[in-house]
């Protein structure tokens, strides 16, 4: 029996006082045991008080530039293939998630580069025209001064569908100087734990300003203990999970949920000539394969315009070929019984539809670890079964896809585009009206830019409260100045 890998990060709480629970991932040579901390409500309350106090004494006093520099040093370590933290992250994320090891390696490189110093500076500048607002009172155009203050305690509740996901909200919290406690998911408890330890190593002033905990989903006693200590709760997960969490958040505590979303791709006839079609299909396939469509930004349907030298059906065939080729480079992870049943059920429904409806076709046999469902008549955007199942639907013009996307307005997020400039700009307004919050290139759907407005919201502004020092106070103060008389 090997010693379990320890997850969690608990500053101020001795490990011997903590009850640990072991989570097992994989089997045989690919098995890994991860010990996660199961704190009592009293321990959660004490940990929250410790982190909050450390945040006041350390994090709140650091200039944002110093915080960015610390994060940058940690990211540089994680981008170093020979660094022990990077080696451990690659090993554990592949074993815990089941994703192909090479996919994890390449995905980490792309993802981590988003958090280097220049990108973090853009991140801050995206939400604050004057980033010094996070450090001290600054003059504002209307008169007076203003200051942005982050929460005294920010609680993160993370999902485990995409490796490394916690880094987004972790970094956001740090940039607004919010001491934080993050609750990791049972499906992926390791990355946030590694990052917290690494950050404490590269910047000891932050060592007590961040904690990483675990408890089972639905543990309302632990949720209540943790949420009652928070100023802001930022949560990721399914809509039912978020609805249940909201019930545990006190009325005066801000709740920022990121729930279930759907994304799609649009392929113009301009991208379907003999030279561009194959590259377009390859970009679309990469968006499908990366992390097995587990992210909210992963495509589930491609709407493909007629009129190109390559027909929508031929594009579907090319996409199927690219998915087959990528299987040799990035093998699909082993599915759980529930996931396998979902894929099988989706395939069966598509197959039955192909028997009863002309122009519907299923590409990829039952043994293939991918499946493309093609339809000559497009319908409203619908979820597929994920795990390399995707729909390709033909439209006469890309404009025709807009109302089909708008049918899922409340859930629509990313739209990946392969289109000429005039089409892109003409469609951007309509897609925004349809509910899309992010429009990007096909092939970039799973790699959001630094500072993106997740689900159309401000990543940093949503976390702060603004304090205004009005001009009237400045003017009145002049009457009491020692030089007045």
Which whole number is the average pLDDT over 261-283? 96
Name which residue leads in pLDDT, 275 or 302.
302
Q: How far apart are CA 22 and CA 329, in angstroms?
A: 32
Determine the pLDDT at residue 1: 52
- The predicted-structure confidence for 323-332, as pLDDT tens digits, reads as follows 999 999 999 9
Determine the pLDDT at residue 452: 84
Q: What is the mean pLDDT of the chain?
A: 95
Which whole number is the average pLDDT over 180-188? 96
Residue from 286, 230, 320, 227 nearest 100 by CA: 286
Is pLDDT at 358 greater than 80 in this prediction? yes
CA 6 to chain centre: 24
Determine the pLDDT at residue 356: 87
- The predicted-structure confidence for 203-250, as pLDDT tens digits, reads as follows 999 999 999 999 998 999 999 999 999 999 999 999 999 999 999 999
Which whole number is the average pLDDT over 281-289? 98
Q: Confidence band (pLDDT; 50, 70, 90) for 164?
A: confident
- The predicted-structure confidence for 391-447, as pLDDT tens digits, reads as follows 999 999 999 999 999 999 999 999 999 999 999 999 999 999 999 999 999 999 999
Which whole number is the average pLDDT over 13-24? 93
Q: Confidence band (pLDDT; 50, 70, 90) for 15?
A: confident
Is pLDDT at 463 greater than 80 in this prediction? yes
- The predicted-structure confidence for 435-445, as pLDDT tens digits, reads as follows 999 999 999 99
Determine the pLDDT at residue 440: 97
The three-state DSSP-derived secondary structure of the chain is CCCCEECCECCCCCHHHCEEEEEEECCHHHCEEEEEEECCHHHHHHHHHHHHHHHHHCHHHCCHHHHHHHHHHHHHHHCCCCCHHHHHHHHHHHHHHCCCHHHHHHHHHHHHHHHCHHHHHHHHHHHCCCHHHHCCCEECCCCCEEEEECCCCEEEECCCCCCCCHHHHHHHHHHCCCCEEEEEECCECCHHHHHHHHHHHHCHHHCCCEEEEECCCCCHHHHHHHHCCCCEEEEECCHHHHHHHHHHCCCCCEEEEECCCEEEEEECHHHCCCCCHHHHHHHHHHHHHHHHHCCCCCEEEEEEECCCCCCHHHHHHHHHHHHHHHHHHCCCCCCCHHHHHHHHHHHHHHHHHHHHCCCEEEECCCCCCCEEEEECCCCCCCCCCCCCEEEEEEECCHHHHHHHHHCCCCCEEEEEEECCHHHHHHHHHHHHHHCCCEEEECCCCCCCCCCCCHHHCCCCHHHCEEEEECHHHHHHHHHHCCCCC
Determine the pLDDT at residue 445: 96
């Amino acid at each position: 029996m090997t010693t379990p890998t320890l997850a969690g990060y608990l500053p101020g709480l001795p490990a011997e006082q903590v009850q640990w629970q072991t989570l097992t991932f994989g089997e045989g040579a690919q098995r890994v045991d991860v010990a996660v901390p199961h704190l009592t409500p009293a321990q959660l309350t004490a940990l929250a008080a410790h982190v909050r106090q450390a945040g006041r004494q350390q994090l709140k006093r650091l200039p944002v530039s110093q915080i960015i520099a610390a994060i940058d040093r940690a990211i540089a370590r994680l981008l170093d293939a020979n660094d022990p933290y990077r080696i451990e992250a690659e090993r554990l994320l592949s074993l815990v998630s089941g994703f192909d090891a090479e996919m994890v390696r390449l995905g980490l490189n792309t993802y981590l580069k988003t958090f280097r110093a220049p990108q973090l500076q853009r991140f801050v500048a995206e939400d604050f025209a004057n980033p010094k607002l996070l450090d001290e009172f600054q003059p504002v155009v209307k008169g007076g001064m203003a200051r942005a203050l982050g929460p005294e305690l920010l609680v993160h509740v993370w999902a485990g569908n995409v490796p490394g996901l916690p880094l987004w909200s972790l970094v956001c919290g740090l940039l607004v100087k919010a001491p934080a406690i993050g609750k990791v998911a049972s499906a992926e408890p390791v990355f946030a734990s590694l990052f917290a330890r690494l950050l404490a190593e590269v910047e000891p002033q932050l060592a007590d300003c961040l904690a990483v905990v675990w408890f089972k989903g639905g543990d309302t006693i632990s949720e209540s203990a943790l949420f009652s200590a928070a100023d802001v709760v930022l949560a990721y997960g399914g809509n039912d999970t978020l609805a249940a969490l909201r019930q545990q958040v006190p009325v005066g505590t801000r709740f920022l949920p990121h729930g279930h979303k759907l994304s799609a791709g649009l392929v113009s006839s301009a991208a379907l000539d003999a030279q561009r079609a194959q590259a377009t299909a390859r970009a679309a396939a990469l968006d499908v394969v990366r992390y097995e469509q587990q992210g909210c930004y992963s495509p589930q349907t491609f709407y493909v315009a007629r009129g190109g030298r390559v027909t929508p059906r031929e594009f579907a065939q090319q996409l199927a070929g690219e998915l087959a080729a990528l299987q040799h480079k990035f093998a699909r992870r082993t599915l759980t019984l529930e996931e396998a049943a979902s894929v099988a059920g989706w395939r069966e429904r598509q197959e039955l539809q192909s028997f009863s409806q002309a122009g519907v076709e299923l590409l990829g046999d039952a043994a293939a670890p991918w499946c493309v469902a093609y339809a000559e008549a497009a319908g409203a955007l619908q979820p597929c079964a994920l795990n390399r199942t995707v729909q390709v639907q033909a439209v006469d013009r890309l404009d025709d896809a807009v109302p089909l996307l708008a049918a899922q307005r409340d859930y629509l997020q990313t739209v990946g585009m392969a289109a000429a400039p005039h089409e892109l700009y003409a469609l951007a307004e309509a897609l925004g009206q349809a509910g899309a919050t992010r429009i990007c290139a096909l092939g970039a759907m799973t790699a959001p830019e630094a500072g993106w407005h997740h689900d159309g919201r401000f990543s940093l502004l949503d976390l702060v409260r603004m304090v205004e020092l009005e001009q009237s106070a400045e003017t009145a103060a002049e009457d009491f100045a020692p030089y007045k008389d």
